Each structure stands twice: as structure tokens, then as C-alpha cells.
Amino acid sequence: MSSRRLVTLSVNGREHEFDVLVHRPLLEVLREDLGLTGAKECCAVGECGACTVLVDGLTVNSCLMLAVEADNRQITTIEGLTPGESLSPLQDSFLAHGAVQCGFCIPGMIVSAQFLLDSNPSPTASEINEGLAGNLCRCGGYKRMLRAVEAITEPEA
């Protein structure tokens, strides 16, 4: 039992050691201690998906995970999905389709959409909707996002 714990977080391929207060959410450590402000806090209770990151390759709500639970696991944030100075094909497609309005939900949306495409390269429209159901957009740009994802799905062989 302890209120602090030494943890190793591997974030976007780099290892970081922290002596962390055990009640701190992963999202808070990513944003405040590592300066990775792509993942956002909005609802803080798992409903909006603005805080979505990958842990060991699976999407999770980082507001509902303690940093200690991510000890020794591989974390990928939106920053890690963005290649250097350019954008990923999915990010380009979001821009090309006018799917980005205020932009607040976009980091989480892209992480979820990339996870969907990596696990299912040819999703149907309903699979895309289902795959993104955990990401809310307060600007309501869902149709354009759907098209942006559809545009880079691989046609069924």
C-alpha cells in the first residue's frame, strides 16, 4: 500500500521514470508532466473519448486509467501517430474532407479511427460509426468524419 509509486511509462517509444502519486490519472501525467497536450480532458468519466490514447495497441480513455496502471506498458498518443513535420494519411483525409471544425475532439477521434483502420482496413459505414461511437464531437461534424475515414479504407479484395 502506498500513496506514491515508481513507474516506467513508455510513451511514443521513449521511456520515462516517474515517482507518481497513485491517484493521478494517466491523462493528467501525459498532459502536465510530459507536455503531451494532444489528448484532451472533457467529460473525465469515459463518455466523450477526447482523452483516447493507445495502451499496448488498444484504445482506452486515459481519464479513466491511473498512471500506475500504465506501468511498463506501451503508450501511444496522437503525437506518436503524427509523423514528424507532416500528417498521416488519415489526418490529411480529415482536413481534405473538412472534418475538423474547432478541433477539440480530433486527437481522440484520429486515435480511434486509426485503431479501427489498423484492426479492420475495410470497415463498412456502420462499422465506422460503431468504431467511433466512443468519441463525441461537440461541433457535430460526424458525416464528414465518416467520409474522411471511408476515403482511405482499402477496397475489399
Among 16, 46, 56, 138, binds ligand FAD (CB under 6 A): 46
| Shortest Å distance, C-beta 62 to ligand FAD | 13
Buried b (16+ CB within 10 A) or exposed e, 17-29: ebebeeebbbbbb
The contacts of residue 131 (CB under 8 Å, 6+ apart) are 112, 113, 115, 116, 120, 123
Which of 27-35, 44-52, 87-95, 100-108 is the region at the interface with ligand FAD (rule: CB under 6 A)? 44-52
User: Are 19 and 6 a contacting pair, CB within 8 Å?
Assistant: yes
| Shortest Å distance, C-beta 104 to other proteins | 17
- 116 part of the interface to ligand FES, by CB under 6 A: no
| Shortest Å distance, C-beta 112 to ligand FES | 11
- 47 part of the interface to ligand FAD, by CB under 6 A: yes
Query: Among all chains, which residue has been given the C-alpha cell 479484395?
Result: 157
Measured CA distances, 106 to 6, 47, 114 (Å): 32, 15, 12
Q: Which of residues 74-113 bind other proteins (CB under 8 A)?
A: 112
Which of 9-17, 34-42, 45-53, 80-88 is the region at the interface with other proteins (rule: CB under 8 A)? 45-53
